Amino acid sequence: MPRHIRNLPVVFLLAVLLSIFAGNRPVAAEIVRLPITLDYPLLQNLMINKAFRERNESVVLVDEGSGCLYLALSHPRIMEEKGFVRLEIEITAHAGTPLGRECLMPLAWKGFLVLYQQPAINSRTWQLSFRTSRSGLFDRNHQPIQLGGILWQLIESRVFTYLNSITIDLAPPVNNLKEFLFPMFPQHVRQQTQTMLDSLRAGEPQITPEAIKLDILADVKEIYRPEDARITETLSGKELEEVVAVWENWDALLSFMVAMTAKDVLSPEERQTLMDVLLETRYSFLDSIGSNSVTHDFVRVQFASAWKQLAPIFRNHITADSSPQRIGYLSFFTAADALTILDGLGPTFGIEVSRNGMIRLARMLSSDPAILRYGSGINPNLQRLFEVTPEPVQAPAAAEDEVPPEGKFLEQDLPLTPPPEPSSQPPQAPPLEPPLEPHSELPLELPLELPAEPSLAPPPEPTSSLFDFLCAPLHAAEGRNLEELRKWTVTRGNVDNIVRKVVNLLKAQAQTTAREKKVPPAFRSTYRLMIPAIAWQESCFRQFVVRDDKLTYLLSYNNSSVGLMQVNTRVWRGVYDLERLRWDIRYNAAAGCEIATLYLKDYALRERKGQKKPDNETIAHLVYAMYNGGPGQYRKYLERQRNGKLYASDKLFQEKFKWVSAADWGKISKCLIGG
């Protein structure tokens, strides 16, 4: 049967390779194609790094007689024009006759040389070169010019030879691709995998308006699709912990790429996409952990989904500067493209992304191992992306004891009557269904009084262990301002006082954030109701609790959200100070207000073609749904509302919103002490 070429998406090569499971039937050899994409900005930077390494993107070809004979090239610019690669070079030329310290009959010219070239690849060495088809000279105003005499002789003899000798080494990205893909395949097909990878060779470069595309060709002789349910099985125990660790590496890598991109000037659409992908990736992880639905291919599927959306933005911004690491980014883009196409072949191929795979990807970008570190520090570029200042603007420290001057949404004082006795029924565990059920509805056994002395054990650092999802770590308030913490801790004897202080703090913080973040005036009255309703739903107005006779911060049942506004430390890692979210109620309130405002302005109030803007109360419900479950909840909440199938958390927030609107603060006992 004759060999033929099918223009299949790249990594069909790898999928097809998995044909070599047991009992395959031979078929004719297939040649499959995997493209390397050289965007013109990236190609330009690679050329600068290779051939224009002197000051100001230049190279001096001739410098004799103290500049009497001088020829320099600078500022190469590459684009596509009429099916050619158009290379424009700025030329500075001096031509004269050196005589001692003099330069006789000096001539000078400065202008541009434009070459129209075709790319060629050496399949053995993977060197990409360029053959010049035609050229032209232009003056400083980019008008065509004819140049003769000694100046033209100088240019003709030196410039064309130099430019035609420039090559781009594509061997590193090809070798990196092999090293990245090989470990992704099951152990029992490693020999066949190696044979396939050894067959990689270069196809013919193609010129497109956006890039030069080079096909990597590979021979695959057998095709077979195994039925392997292992990939789609949900995980538990050690296997789940391993996937969680790999996901944290993936989240660290994604955060690094997003933060690097955020340093550049982004369009509103690009910024929105970066925020959407980062938030949805993190919320999806929490949702899968909470619903026990994590599978072996979880990270691979997330990576592929994110890359499809982010690759155009990364290519547009990350390759914008000249850096020796550009070839590493080409390697990264090539490997990521391959993995994305592999994912499109379905889960049955047994391809998994491991920690070693993440390490290989990260090394293509940087030699710094910190790229994959799942740290708790603040990243200024992520703050820039989310338009968060280094220090969230907080309401005045005394605000909880004062009535703010602007607006009024409390129509009566907090109740002064004693709260009901605690319920004799033990708290019930919240259901594990999306979105996360609120914890504020669970009655809390309040201590009669605060412990005289807190534990002296130092608060342990958060770890990446799966154990933290299953068992809440107890972080005692050692070494902190205990008097300040006690002021905000509810006991049976101070419910009214604490709730009053917290509500006033939330009222003041809502005003402060609305002013700083320019919440539209038409929504401000609703905003001042929404913020305390969120806090009521999320924490029952608590920042701190007493557990096992120790004073600590309030931690959600899934051990991810903390404090008054239950800010999720995994979702907002890198944007906010995690320790201050835990131990500083004012910082927590300010951060929670900023997050709610982000969902309000960038999502709920965003103009959507063909959609009618919801009323203010529905917008408040939408904001809470996203606050609780991420940007994807905007569409999902509206669907639930249309179908009359609201989650329990939707209904409970609506209830809190009505209570706040009516200043029905007596209902606070329902979540504090089971009344």
Locate 9 and state its tokens: 């998406």
3 state SS for 69-80 = EEEEEEEEEEEE
In this structure, is residue 13 part of a structural domain?
A: no
User: pLDDT: is 178 or 188 the higher one?
Assistant: 178
Task: Single out the residue in 122, 138, 169 at which a domain terminates.
Answer: 169
In this structure, is residue 655 part of a structural domain?
A: yes
In this structure, is residue 255 part of a structural domain?
A: no
Residue 438 DSSP label = P
**Alpha-carbon torsion 290, 294, 299, 304, what sign?**
negative
pLDDT tens sequence across 283-342: 999 999 988 888 888 998 899 999 999 999 998 887 645 455 678 888 999 989 888 876
Write out the residue range of the structural domain in which residue 75 sits. Answer: 39-169
Task: Single out the residue in 114, 139, 169 at which a domain terminates.
Answer: 169
**Least confidently predicted of 72-76, 98-102, 385-389, 516-520:** 98-102
In this structure, is residue 186 part of a structural domain?
A: no
Residue 317 vs residues 88, 210, 263, 310, 352: alpha-carbon distances, Å = 22, 14, 9, 11, 29
pLDDT tens sequence across 232-271: 677 778 889 999 999 999 999 999 999 999 999 999 999 9
| Nearest one of 156, 149, 107, 109 to 132, comparing CA atoms | 156
The predicted pLDDT at position 466 comes to: 53
Indicate which CATH number applies to the domain containing 590: 1.10.530
- As a whole number, the mean pLDDT across the chain is 82
**Least confidently predicted of 31-35, 48-52, 57-61:** 31-35
**Position 174 confidence tier, pLDDT thresholds 50, 70, 90:** very high
Whether the pTM exceeds 0.75: the reply is: yes
pLDDT tens sequence across 585-612: 999 999 999 999 999 999 999 888 778 8
How many structural domains comprise the chain? Answer: 2
In this structure, is residue 535 part of a structural domain?
A: yes
The predicted pLDDT at position 434 comes to: 37
In this structure, is residue 147 part of a structural domain?
A: yes
3-state secondary structure of 597: helix
Q: Is the pLDDT of residue 458 over 50?
A: no
User: pLDDT: is 258 or 102 the higher one?
Assistant: 258
In this structure, is residue 253 part of a structural domain?
A: no
Q: Is the pLDDT of residue 416 over 60?
A: no
Please classify residue 378 by burial: count the beta carbons closer than 10 Å to its beta carbon, then call 0-12 exposed, 13-18 middle and 19+ buried: middle
The predicted pLDDT at position 560 comes to: 92
Q: Is the pLDDT of residue 167 over 90?
A: yes
User: pLDDT: is 85 or 97 the higher one?
Assistant: 85
Indicate which CATH number applies to the domain containing 117: 3.15.10
pLDDT tens sequence across 357-381: 898 899 888 888 889 999 999 999 9
User: pLDDT: is 58 or 669 the higher one?
Assistant: 58
The predicted pLDDT at position 148 comes to: 86
Contacts of 281 (CB under 8 A, 6+ apart): 251, 254, 302, 306
Pairing relation of β-strands 4-5 and 26-39? parallel
Task: Single out the residue in 169, 194, 227 at which a domain terminates.
Answer: 169
In this structure, is residue 338 part of a structural domain?
A: no
The predicted pLDDT at position 388 comes to: 94
